[in-house]
Chains A and B, each alone.
Chain A
Amino acid sequence: MFYRVAQSILLLVGALLAGSAVAANTGDVKTGKLVYERYCLSCHGAQGNGQGEAAEYMSIKPRDYRQGTYKWRSTPSGSLPLDSDLEHTLLNGLYGTYMPTWRALDERSRRDVIAYIKTFSPRFGTEKPQDPIIIPPDPGYSVASVARGDAVYKKYNCAQCHGAGGQGDGPSAHELKDDWGNGLVPYDLTKGHVKCGDKSTDIYRVFMSGLAGTPMPTFADSLSPVDAWDLVHFIQSLSPLYAKNMASGETGGAR
């Protein structure tokens, strides 16, 4: 009898712990649906297909969630994102698009809405995200690194899309389409902010993860970490914002 009672208590505690662990790590789909309907639906649509009422007025279309394809990921090309990647986009928004920051949402609501957004793609039920890309520490911005990065930019033919001067006007800049057939242009690297974050690690990550759903491929298989950091510094040198930041000794814009 004692053992049976002890066993029951253990099982109960175990179930309780398991229950709370699940609750802490993944959001609640039902509550997430309410958050989604209140804040996300007008752009991303009731079906999660990126065709909400406001979408037709936007030149950069809201994300269609049904393919599980996300630009901002810590994971390799082709992989699903981690929940923390989706939360990063919620917190930071996407510069240059209509996606604002959702810092006003509390943590609980963010997790719930992420859980709900994931239900639009069956991939989250059948695939696991791959391990995140490892980003070694930034060796630091220097004039020498920028010069080496200029050579990397040329060697890796970045100019094919982004243009010789980084203004997004390379030979392949026109007629580019995303996975949904919408036209898009390569990023003008001389403008200032970068869509996926201004930190040097954000720029490094984009080289390695690519931007899923867009023509920007992964260079993880061809670009060494040393060359990638030089390229980051070269890209930073193109931006007026960064030139200012570098002069004042900062290594990246905090956003």
Chain B
Amino acid sequence: MVNAMSAGGRLHGRVARVGIAIVALTALVAMRPVRAYEVATVTNGGSIEGVVTLSGSAPATTPIKVTKNQDYCGQAIPDPVYTVDGSGGLANVIVFLKDITKGKAAPTEPLALVNSKCMFSPRAQGAMVSEQVKISSEDTVLHNTHPQNADTNATIFNVALPFKGFSVTKPLPSMPMMIKVKCDAHEWMHAWIMELDHPYYATTGADGHFTIKDVPPGTYTLAVWHEAAGANTAPVTVAAGQTTKSKITLAAK
């Protein structure tokens, strides 16, 4: 089987193989994010408290027309895209820090995504990579929760929630990405999950307010994202043990 004529060639091949392995390993190391997030105890952290407001008046929205299961879901559902309070506070905005590489640990509780009254709740939320998400249904009609990579449309998973009271916990992908969640059975149902490689994120409440806690002192970029009004950023400086106030606006589109 092994003959002398080709032994030299094979040895050469082996050297080449080792060489290729080294090149591949070097490439892998080089491809790793330069600054992966590092968990550390935050003893002197500060907080960022702020509000996201919509400049100008919110565009008029028409109620979502329910096209199936009207006996259960009703005939129409208010469109939640622009949920704005009396002073312009915009709800369902994901607020997060950019360029933070070290700080508090990931949340221990899984995030929640509830199918309720033929809508997803919450509409938008942040998550840390690989975090667990508990998906549940309070409805008697069948739902399916179908998260997709918002850039490529690739299915992350697609799980059936066939009856009321059912819940299932699933892991999110290990790479940061924007996830669009849909229910194929009720095409108007959408939710958004922004996966980040760190746990410094919050979602604005009904009054547009948010709080990000345990931030190591330093200067960061505070970023906001809304499904319709788009994105904006503002610099923010956090001092040890202090609360920094922040106000960001988004323009209605």
Contact = CB atoms under 8 A, between A and B. Distances in A.
Q: Do A and B come from one complex?
A: yes
A161 B10 CA distance: 59
Contacts of B166: 222
B142 A160 contact: yes
A215 B142 contact: no
A215 B144 contact: yes
A132 interface: no
A210 B155 CA distance: 11
Nearest to A180: B153
B152 A217 contact: no
Interface residues of A, number: 42
A213 to B, nearest CB: 6
B162 A156 contact: yes
A67 interface: yes
Given A66-B152, A156-B142, A175-B187, A215 B159 contact: no
Contacts of B163: 155-157, 222
Interface string B43-80: 00000000000000000000000011100000000000
B153 to A, nearest CB: 5
Contact of A78 (B10, B13, B156): B156
B153 A157 contact: no
Contact of A222 (B10, B13, B141, B160): B160
Interface string B150-192: 0011111111111100101010000000000000111100000
B245 interface: no
A60 interface: no
Given A69-B155, A172-B68, A215-B146, A157 B10 contact: no
B5 to A, nearest CB: 13
Contacts of A176: 184, 187
A68 interface: yes
B2 interface: yes
Contact of A215 (B156, B158, B170): B158
B185 A161 contact: yes
Contacts of A16: 2, 10
Contact of A160 (B13, B141, B146, B155): B141
Contact of B141 (A11, A157, A181, A221): A157
A12 interface: yes
Contacts of B40: none
A179 B69 CA distance: 24
Interface string A177-218: 101110000000000000000000000000000101101111
B17 interface: yes
A171 interface: yes
A78 B68 contact: no
Given A156-B160, A217-B158, 7 more contacts: A67-B149, A78-B156, A157-B142, A158-B142, A177-B184, A215-B185, A218-B157
Interface of A: 8-9, 11-13, 15-16, 19, 66-69, 76-78, 123, 155-158, 160-161, 171-172, 174-177, 179-181, 210, 212-213, 215-219, 221-223
16 contacts: A9-B2, A15-B10, A15-B14, A67-B153, A155-B162, A156-B142, A158-B142, A172-B68, A172-B142, A175-B187, A176-B184, A179-B148, A217-B144, A217-B159, A222-B168, A223-B162
Q: Give 7 closest A-B pairs by Cβ, nearest first.
A: A215-B184, A78-B157, A157-B142, A67-B154, A171-B68, A217-B144, A217-B160
